[in-house]
């Protein structure tokens, strides 16, 4: 069957269309993205602005048309941190339902970590042993660890690259003290979770998903593995660059370039505090996890 996953994230609204059936690897058939940056469309009360809601509805309508054009049989719609943390989340969801017919399912941070872990486990297979999976989104950082398809521990922290950039690094080229302050904040937040994961023992593989990790791996010269040593070299370089200069780096898009420094600080802190010399990149993440969970509930005959 042809499935479409509608992901309303902090940075983008993304439709991923796959051809899939139980027991088989989902095959990508189409991808439709729209930059929305919901996390930047909040008013002073923390609510998504009227303009933001109008844009969200318009984008979802366009995405649904794309899904229809591609012959999608079922759309799996969900929203992550930007919507779930908005002060007017219920009203936004109701407006989307009334104007598009779509019932957005709000994924909790814990669910986000667990579904991303499921995708990584299926990608690497059982022989990979214990996995520790890290995912940096626009609004949050997800961490999960375990041996099976359901992680033994999972956490979601408010350390997304977009959120931190908006709140801590307002200038295109931040002041060094702003960078140091953000570095301290990120490390303090992650350090609170280290003990919970340390009790589970060291992983056999540290795995990284998400666009932020992929871009960092590309600029450090190895698209499959991000090493801590290489990341340490690049963090001060990124801090001294303008967004336009970052966008000129290999694999870095202009839309995400402003967020790359904050993402690098989170990635560096996570690898150091979890004592990982490197992270292996996984092309599957939350969207694939949603697809795999849906397929697991389909009849096999």
Sequence spans of domains, the chain: 2-106, 109-281
**168, 262 Cβ separation under 8 angstroms:** yes
- Answer yes or no: same fold for 2-106 and 109-281: yes
Instruction: Classify the C-alpha dihedral 145-148-149-150 as positive or negative.
Output: negative
CATH class for domain 109-281?
alpha beta
In angstroms, the CA 246 to CA 42 distance is 26
Report, at the CATH architecture level, how domain 2-106 is classified.
2-Layer Sandwich (3.30)
Question: What's the pLDDT at 11?
Answer: 86
Q: Residue 15, CB half-sphere, CA atoms under 13 Å: how many?
A: 24
What are the average pLDDT values for consecutive 10-residue runs of the chain, which has 301 residues? Answer: 94 94 90 87 89 95 96 96 93 97 96 98 97 96 97 97 94 96 98 96 97 97 97 98 97 94 98 98 96 85 53
Question: What's the pLDDT at 301?
Answer: 53
| DSSP of 220-244 | TT-TTEEEHHHHHHHHHHHHHS-HH
**100, 29 Cβ separation under 8 angstroms:** no
In angstroms, the CA 78 to CA 83 distance is 10
In angstroms, the CA 125 to CA 132 distance is 14
Question: What's the pLDDT at 180?
Answer: 98
Query: In which region does residue 46 sit, left (phi positive, over 0), alpha (psi from -120 to 50) or beta (all else)?
Result: left
User: Do the strands 153-157 and 278-281 form a parallel or antiparallel pair, or are they unpaired?
Assistant: unpaired
Question: What's the pLDDT at 39?
Answer: 75
**138, 81 Cβ separation under 8 angstroms:** yes
In 3D space, the residue among 183, 263, 181, 254 whose CA is nearest the CA of residue 220 turns out to be: 263
């Amino acid at each position: 069957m042809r499935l479409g996953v509608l992901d309303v994230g902090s940075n983008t609204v993304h439709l991923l269309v796959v051809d899939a059936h139980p027991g088989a690897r989902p095959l990508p058939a189409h991808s439709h993205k729209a930059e929305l940056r919901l996390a930047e469309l909040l008013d002073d009360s923390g609510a998504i602005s009227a303009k933001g809601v109008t844009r969200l509805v318009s984008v979802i309508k366009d995405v649904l048309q794309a899904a229809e054009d591609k012959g999608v049989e079922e759309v799996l719609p969900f929203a992550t941190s930007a919507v779930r943390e908005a002060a007017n989340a219920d009203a936004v969801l109701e407006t989307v339902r009334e104007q598009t017919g779509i019932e957005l399912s709000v994924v909790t941070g814990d669910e986000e970590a667990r579904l991303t872990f499921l995708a990584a486990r299926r990608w690497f297979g059982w022989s990979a042993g214990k996995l520790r999976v890290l995912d940096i989104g626009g609004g949050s950082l997800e961490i999960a660890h375990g041996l099976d398809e359901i992680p033994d521990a999972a956490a979601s922290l408010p350390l997304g690259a977009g959120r931190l950039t908006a709140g801590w690094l307002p200038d295109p080229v931040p002041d060094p003290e702003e960078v140091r302050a953000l570095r301290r904040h990120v490390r303090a937040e992650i350090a609170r979770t280290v003990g919970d994961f340390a009790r589970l023992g060291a992983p056999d593989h540290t795995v990284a998903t998400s666009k932020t990790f992929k871009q960092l791996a590309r600029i450090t010269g190895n698209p499959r593995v991000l090493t801590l040593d290489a990341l340490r070299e690049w963090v001060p370089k990124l801090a001294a660059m303008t967004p336009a200069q970052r966008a000129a780096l290999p694999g870095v898009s202009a839309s995400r370039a402003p967020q790359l420094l904050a993402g690098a600080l989170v990635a560096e802190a996570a690898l150091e505090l979890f004592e990982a010399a490197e992270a292996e990149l996984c092309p599957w993440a939350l969207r694939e996890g949603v697809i795999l969970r849906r397929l697991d509930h389909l009849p096999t005959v």
